[in-house]
């Protein structure tokens, strides 16, 4: 089984292998899709092919064909010998490059039939299934500190990583590893003992805990004993103090409840709400293992450290002088726990790039202690300038509300098709979320970007709103035309260049999904969807469905349906809920 695009490449490779003495797999690797469709649908660079053949012959001590010396002549020669067949209409030489044009009708038939048959699995129906378990650690905010832009990115990118692993046949265990333990939490608890207010806590835990956090941190700035109290508090917790643990459980449960409603709004969920507090019983095991391996040394001030200098990873502290654990100790304990609970084949940590050095230490120690090799830090850059109109602190809920309001205003101004108030609320919320998500996923993850309300909600720019608009518009064609989607229209009627461009883009989707999976870069899919949306919109200008002869309407209908289905699948994979009208 193969994708439609691959079948056409195979048809080219097959003929070319006898014309060039080159193996089909090598040719398949080198056949490209040109940027502009006036250059055909596929191209092959002969200098590149020559280089590959030279490489091959160096490895096997055989000779390369003479033609390699003059790629331009070679390209002409191949073009003249190429015999058009059912799939490939012609081959032309353009300097040292060969350009291939597909047989239009056959191409339409293959591409659209694939989409029709695979429908909601189009894009990954042919992907290899991994049948393995992956643990994905994402979002992971700290209950003792505010949710920040980095947590938002982790939530978005982690959710994407989860979805794309699922379609690739992984059993995914999505874990929210809360920062709900440690000295930081001790500080919040000390603050809560002073400034905590039960009513405010019940009413709005996230904002109230933030208030407490701000006050106690200010105090800690002038009063060094606050820090000592935080340490002492945490020590009590690690020793099992009932009162301290009761408060901790309450704050934790309430925080989780409020996070859940916001995650729900974003369409994000977790298999497990875990956290640094959940690994306590594994810490002694980790410490024992470290000692057994003779890795631990005691520092001047009585802490336990591991020397990782030989790997250029500095020194890693695993225990404080007072016997308490650290972030690193808990991550190591957590690895042990996850292996025991889930038996994972690989584990991903979706966390900002500022923790890169830290994760290098975790992974090195994970390898030294447990032999894990499949640990990956899915890192990302910062968001600059993210704030709501109310102030500079980032509350996820405020961000989503601001986005929604802005869209609502826009919908009112632009006379939206949606009139029902209820539907308008839902649609504006989904559009706001799409805008945030797409802005976050449109560039490579490690790039920093600056948050911009104007840019991200611009319906005409490359934004989430634009993608939704393209989807809704394609849905509109289906609603308004009186033609049904049938699998076997007369494919020969789809002759216009706009139709071919669109089908060509549709055919590329499976490759985009695969490449995005390998790099865990959602921008591959986002940018592809921008192109697909532009091509769809160009096609809607010229390829009318409504009021056309039934045969023509049916052919065009299937084309738009396939574009819409591809857009739908792509958006869903990104964690965006496609909108049918707006």
Residues at the site binding ligand ARG, with contacts judged by CB under 6 A: 137, 140, 142, 177, 179, 331, 349, 351
Alpha-carbon separation of residue 67 from 50, 54, 97, 520 (angstroms): 9, 12, 14, 40
CB closer to ligand ARG out of 137 and 440: 137
Task: Count the helix, strand and coil residues of the chain and give each as a percent rounded to the nearest 5.
Answer: 60, 10, 30
Cα 366 to Cα 137, 176, 339, 458: the distances in Å are 16, 20, 11, 45
Answer whether 463's CB lies under 8 Å from 456's CB: yes
* Residue with Cβ nearer ligand ARG (276 or 429): 276
Stated as kind and residue range, the H or E segment containing 449 is strand 449-450
Environment class of 69 (CB within 10 Å of its CB; exposed 0-12, middle 13-18, buried 19+): exposed
What b/e readout covers 49-67, taking b as 16+ CB neighbours within 10 angstroms?
A: bbebbeeeeeeeeeebeeb
Between CA 239 and CA 143, with CA 369 as vertex, the angle to 5 degrees is 45
In whole angstroms, the minimum distance from the beta carbon of 375 to ligand ARG comes to 10
User: Which residue, 197 or 354, is less far from ligand ARG as judged by CB?
Assistant: 354
Cβ neighbors of 455 (< 8 A, separation 6 or more) are: 439, 461, 463
For ligand ARG, the closer of residues 331 and 514 by Cβ is: 331
CB of 568 to ligand ARG, least distance (A): 32
**CB 137 → ligand ARG: shortest distance, Å?**
5
Structure tokens at 233: 């508090």
Q: Would you list the DSSP string of 507-559?
A: HHHHHHHHHHHHHT-THHHHHHHHHHHHHHHHHHHH---TTS-HHHHHHHHHH
CA 7 to the chain's CA centroid: 28
Residue 367 CB, shortest distance to ligand ARG, in Å, is 16
Contact 187, 281 (CB under 8 A): no
Distance CA 7, CA 11 (A): 6
For ligand ARG, give the closer residue by CB, 179 or 432: 179
How many beta carbons lie within 10 A of that of residue 261, not counting itself?
A: 9
Dist CA 299 CA 296 (whole Å): 10
What is the closest distance, in whole angstroms, from the C-beta atom of residue 534 to ligand ARG in the complex?
37
Is-contact 489 551, C-beta < 8 A? Answer: yes
Residue nearest to ligand ARG (CB): 179
Q: For tokens 């925080």, what's the residue? A: 255
3-state SS, 82-102, equals: CCCCCCEEEEEEECCEEEEEE
Q: Which DSSP symbol is given to 239?
A: T
**Smaller CB distance to ligand ARG: residue 231 or 353?**
353
* Minimum distance from residue 409 beta carbon to ligand ARG (Å): 34
Q: How far is the CB of 178 from ligand ARG (least distance, A)?
A: 7
> Minimal distance in Å, beta carbon 466 to ligand ARG?
32
Question: Are 542 and 526 within 8 A, CB to CB?
Answer: no
Torsion of CA 187, 182, 395, 529, to 10 degrees: 160
List the catalytic residues: 145, 148, 151
Three-state secondary structure along 269-301? CCCEEEEHHHHHHHHHHHHHHHHHCCCEEECCC
Q: Is 172 helix (H, G, I), strand (E, B) or coil?
A: strand
CB of 63 to ligand ARG, least distance (A): 55
Q: What is the dihedral of CA 306, 309, 313, 318, to 10 degrees?
A: 10
CB of 146 to ligand ARG, least distance (A): 10
Q: What's the half-sphere exposure (Cβ side, CA atoms, 13 Å) at 115?
A: 30
A 10 A CB-CB count for 292 gives 10
In the bound state with ligand ARG, the residue whose beta carbon lies nearer, of 271 and 511, is 271
Which of 349/466 has CB closer to ligand ARG?
A: 349
Query: Of 424 and 520, which CB lies nearer to ligand ARG in the complex structure?
Result: 520
Q: How far is the CB of 237 from ligand ARG (least distance, A)?
A: 17
Tokens 């019940």 found at: 202
Return the number of the residue (185 or 509) whose C-beta is nearest ligand ARG.
Answer: 185
Residue 137 or residue 498: which is nearer to ligand ARG going by CB?
137
């Amino acid at each position: 089984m193969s994708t439609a695009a691959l079948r056409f490449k195979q048809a080219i490779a097959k003929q070319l292998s006898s014309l060039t003495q080159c193996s089909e797999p090598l040719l398949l690797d080198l056949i490209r899709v040109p940027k502009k469709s006036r250059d055909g649908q596929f191209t092959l660079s002969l200098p590149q092919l020559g280089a590959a053949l030279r490489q091959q012959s160096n490895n096997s001590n055989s000779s390369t064909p003479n033609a390699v010396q003059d790629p331009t002549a070679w390209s002409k020669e191949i073009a003249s010998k190429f015999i058009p067949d059912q799939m490939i209409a012609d081959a032309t030489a353009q300097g040292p490059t060969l350009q291939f044009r597909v047989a239009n009708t056959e191409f339409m038939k293959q591409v659209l039939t694939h989409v029709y048959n695979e429908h909601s699995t189009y894009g990954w129906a042919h992907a290899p299934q991994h049948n393995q378990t992956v643990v994905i650690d994402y979002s992971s905010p700290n209950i003792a500190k505010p949710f920040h832009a980095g947590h938002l990115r982790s939530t978005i990118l982690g959710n994407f990583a989860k979805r794309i692993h699922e379609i690739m046949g992984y059993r995914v265990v999505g874990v929210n590893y809360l920062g709900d333990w440690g000295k930081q939490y001790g500080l919040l608890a000390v603050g809560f003992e002073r400034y905590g207010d039960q009513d405010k806590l019940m009413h709005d835990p996230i904002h109230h805990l933030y208030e407490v956090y701000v006050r106690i941190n200010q105090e800690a700035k002038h009063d060094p004993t606050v820090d000592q109290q935080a340490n002492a508090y945490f020590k009590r917790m690690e020793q099992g103090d009932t009162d301290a643990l009761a408060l901790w459980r309450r704050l934790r449960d309430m925080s989780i409840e409020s996070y859940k409603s916001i995650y729900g709004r974003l369409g994000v969920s977790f298999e497990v709400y875990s956290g640094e507090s959940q690994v306590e019983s594994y810490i002694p095991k980790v410490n024992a293992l470290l000692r057994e391996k003779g890795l631990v040394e005691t520092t001047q001030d009585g802490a336990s450290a591991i020397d990782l200098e030989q790997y250029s990873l500095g020194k890693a502290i695993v225990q404080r002088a007072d016997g308490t654990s650290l972030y690193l100790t808990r991550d190591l304990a957590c690895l042990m726990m996850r292996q025991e609970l889930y038996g994972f084949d690989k584990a991903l940590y979706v966390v900002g790039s500022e923790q890169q050095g830290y994760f290098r230490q975790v992974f090195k120690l994970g390898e030294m202690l447990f032999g894990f090799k499949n640990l990956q830090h899915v890192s990302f850059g910062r968001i600059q300038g993210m704030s709501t109109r109310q102030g500079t602190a980032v509350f996820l809920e405020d961000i989503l509300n601001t986005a929604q309001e802005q869209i609502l205003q826009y919908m009112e101004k632009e006379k939206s098709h949606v009139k029902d108030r209820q539907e308008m609320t839902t649609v504006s919320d989904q559009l706001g979320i799409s805008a945030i998500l797409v802005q976050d996923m449109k560039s490579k993850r490690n790039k920093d970007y600056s948050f911009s309300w104007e840019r991200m909600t611009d319906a005409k720019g490359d934004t989430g709103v634009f993608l939704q608009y393209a989807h809704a518009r394609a849905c509109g064609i289906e609603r308004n035309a009186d033609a049904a989607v049938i699998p076997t229209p007369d494919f020969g009627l789809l002759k216009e260049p706009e139709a071919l461009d669109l089908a060509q883009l549709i055919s590329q989707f499976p490759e985009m999904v695969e490449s995005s999976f390998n790099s865990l870069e959602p921008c591959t899919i986002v940018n592809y969807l921008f192109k697909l949306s532009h091509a769809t919109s160009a096609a809607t200008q010229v390829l009318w469905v409504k009021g056309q002869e039934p045969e023509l309407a049916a052919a065009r209908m299937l084309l738009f349906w396939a574009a819409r289905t591809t857009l739908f699948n792509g958006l869903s994979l990104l964690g965006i809920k496609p909108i049918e009208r707006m």
